[in-house]
Amino acid sequence: MSNKSDRRNFLKNTVKGTVALGIGMSSISSFAESCTSTQRVISPYKTGFEQQPLPYAFNALEDVIDATTMEIHYTKHAATYSKNLKEAVTAEKIDAKNSVEDVLANISKYSAKMRNNGGGHYNHEMFWQCMRPKQNENKSAGKLMNAIEKNFTSFTNFKTQLSDAGKNRFGSGWVWLYADKNKKLSIGSTPNQDNPLMDVSEIKGFPLLGLDVWEHAYYLKYQNKRADYIENWWNVINWNYVQQRFDNLAG
Ligand code: MN
């Protein structure tokens, strides 16, 4: 991480997540090894059921995402997913020490409420972290950039493919850069609040970067112009965070 505040936010959230689960920082590196082959969790990242603080002010991404959209998105849409997920967790007797990742890996065993809100909560917790204030020439770097170039020929091709996946998602959903156990990268899209961690998903793997293409994510500023929202979003991707998710993949 090159940026102190990024590192602070990353550590803050990592510590919160692990403390909430009752495990110490020292056990993170051994977590991956402890997973059995029947679990599809391939990263030590663990997400709790509580909504975490937004890592920046509502207006911090103003050029790309207006403050009103950010505030409604975080305090209404995303907060409701977390609230409804906790209701479902209680009703369906899931141990609160489980992570959202554990639940999503077995989501076919639970209700539609669990699926919609478990996915909604996870996706948004990740989405906020995947962004930061606008940067010029905003690109991946290092090992992740090498992997992107290996998998997609060039960063430009990667950007085009991911953007196209967003433009072509019919209705509401998400677009993902995700990885398999061998760190092979893929681009894909899921409907509604599904994601590649779910056992019911057509695309499966560990999400590194997610883009929300629901209309609630952009409609106030961009109206029907989803393509413009996607193009601008590239300027606020927090590549340090995406790189951390990639670095922490098991395997
Ligand atoms: Mn959303």
CB burial of residue 132 (10 Å; 0-12, 13-18, 19+): buried
In angstroms, what is the span from residue 29 Cα to ligand 1's centroid?
Answer: 31
Nearest to 240 by CA among 36, 55, 40, 44: 55
List the Cα angle 81/107/219 in 5-degree steps. 35
Any residues with CB less than 8 A from the CB of 44 and at least 6 apart, and which? 28, 29, 31, 32, 248, 250
In angstroms, what is the span from residue 131 Cα to ligand 1's centroid?
Answer: 14
In angstroms, what is the span from residue 49 Cα to ligand 1's centroid?
Answer: 17
Residue 46 contacts residue 121 (beta carbons within 8 Å): no
In angstroms, what is the span from residue 1 Cα to ligand 1's centroid?
Answer: 27
Point out which residues pair with 185 in neighbouring strands: 179
Task: Give average pLDDT by consecutive 10-residue segment, the chain, 251 residues.
Answer: 45 41 36 38 79 97 97 98 98 93 97 98 98 91 94 98 98 97 95 98 97 98 98 97 90 53
**pLDDT at residue 42, rounded to an integer:** 60
Count the alpha carbons within 13 Å of 40 in the hemisphere toward its beta carbon. Answer: 21
**pLDDT at residue 137, rounded to an integer:** 85
Neighbours of ion ligand 1 (CB under 5 A): 212, 214, 217
> How many residues can be counted in the chain?
251
SS3 at position 208? strand
In angstroms, what is the span from residue 221 Cα to ligand 1's centroid?
Answer: 15
pTM of the shown model = 0.84
In angstroms, what is the span from residue 79 Cα to ligand 1's centroid?
Answer: 10
Count the alpha carbons within 13 Å of 204 in the hemisphere toward its beta carbon. Answer: 13
